[in-house]
Amino acid sequence: MREYFLAFIKGIGMGAANVIPGVSGGTIAFITGIFERLVNALKSFNFTAIKLFFTGKFKEFAKHIDLYFLLSVFLGIGISIITFAKLLQYLFENYEVMVWAYFFGLILASVYYVGKTISKWTWSVITVFIIGFVIAFAFTMLTPAQETNTVPYNFFAGAIAACAMILPGLSGSFVLLLMGNYQLIMIDSVSNFDFSVLIPVVIGAVLGIIAFSYFLSWIFKKYKDQTISLMTGFILGSLAVIWPWKNVVSTYIDKYGATRPLKTINVMPETYGTYNNTDPHLWQAVLLMILGIITIVVIEYIAAKSKKQSKSE
DSSP SS3 for 260:
strand
Number of Cβ atoms within 10 Å of the Cβ of 199: 15
pLDDT at 96: 82
By C-alpha distance, which of 199, 193, 186, 182 is closest to 146?
182
pLDDT per residue as tens, the chain (313 positions): 777 888 898 888 888 777 766 566 777 787 777 888 888 888 888 888 888 888 888 889 999 988 899 999 989 988 888 787 677 777 877 888 898 898 888 778 878 877 887 888 899 999 999 998 998 888 777 666 667 788 888 898 888 888 777 776 666 776 777 777 777 787 778 777 788 888 999 899 888 888 888 887 888 788 888 888 887 888 788 787 778 888 777 665 655 566 666 567 778 888 887 877 788 888 999 999 999 888 878 877 776 776 666 556 5
- From the list 227, 131, 175, the residue with the least C-alpha distance to 22 is 175
The CB-side HSE value for 186 (13 A sphere, CA atoms) comes to: 32
- Whether the pTM exceeds 0.85: the reply is no
pLDDT at position 179: 75
- What integer pLDDT is reported at residue 212 of this predicted model? 82
Return the half-sphere exposure (C-beta side, CA atoms, 13 A cut-off) of residue 82. 9
CA nearest to 133, candidates 165, 111, 116, 117? 111
Residue-level pLDDT at 170: 64
Which H or E element spans position 292? Answer: helix 282-312
Instruction: Output the pLDDT for position 307.
Output: 62
* Closest to 64 measured CA to CA, from 83, 39, 77, 46: 46
What's the residue count for the chain? 313
Q: What is the pLDDT of residue 23?
A: 64
Domain boundaries, the chain: 2-312
Residue 30 · residue 116 · CB < 8 Å: no
Q: Look at residues 41, 172, 35, 38 and name the one whose alpha carbon lies nearest to residue 117.
A: 35
Alpha carbon distance 204, 214 (integer Å): 16
